[in-house]
Amino acid sequence: PQVGGRVREPLSPRQHSGQHLRALVDESLELASIEAGRLRLDLAPLPLPALIDGIEAMMRPQAQARGLQFSVETLGTMPRWVRADAKRLRQILINLLSNAIRYTEQGGVRFTLQYRNEVALIEIVDTGIGITGEEFSRIWQPFQRGRRSRAPGTGLGLTITKLLVEILGGDIEVESRPGVGSTFRVRLMLPSIPQHSISAQGRGKTSTSLRI
């Protein structure tokens, strides 16, 4: 591939191993921090449509590189601003979408966000390999990966995602059929913020840090 006028050499097996090791270390440290109660939430005004657009721009090329369809749909009246931890919300969405793309070999991935009564219902649907009954019992446990896929991964993404969703006061569930695909659903309270409040907060403190 060519980047910035230069040809970028493909990653060697050693480089791939290095990337995997760094990801494993980073996610292991994050998991330890969450379990020790040292995670800090930064609740601040977040432009929700811009977040969704950014996630789509990041994930669509990854899906297309695997020959997959990728669709994004928003339902309900979407507020311009909500109060949330942007980093953690983005991390939840990226983890789930990356997993869906990683474990899907044909078909596609659909990302839907429905907003109603201050609650966001997020659905990520794929046409991937699905999850067997045996895998269901350990899907949220650390270092667990689908045995029927050779897709790379640390086995910590879903564990961290579930913990983050719960820390943010939400819940997550999954439905799946082997060979058909999986649907992950996340419910999160994302209070809307009127535009005039954003303008007023711009002259003062705009975020609240909470230690969990």
Task: Give residue-wise pLDDT tens across range 50-97.
Answer: 999 999 999 999 999 999 999 999 999 999 999 999 999 999 999 999
Counting as low any pLDDT under 50, the low residues of the chain are 2-8, 11, 13-20, 203-205
pLDDT value for 20: 42
pLDDT value for 52: 97
User: Is pTM, for the whole model, over 0.75?
Assistant: yes
Q: Is 89 exposed, middle or buried (0-12, 13-18, 19+ CB in 10 A)?
A: buried
**What's the CA gap between 147 and 35, in Å, rounded?**
26
pLDDT value for 24: 52
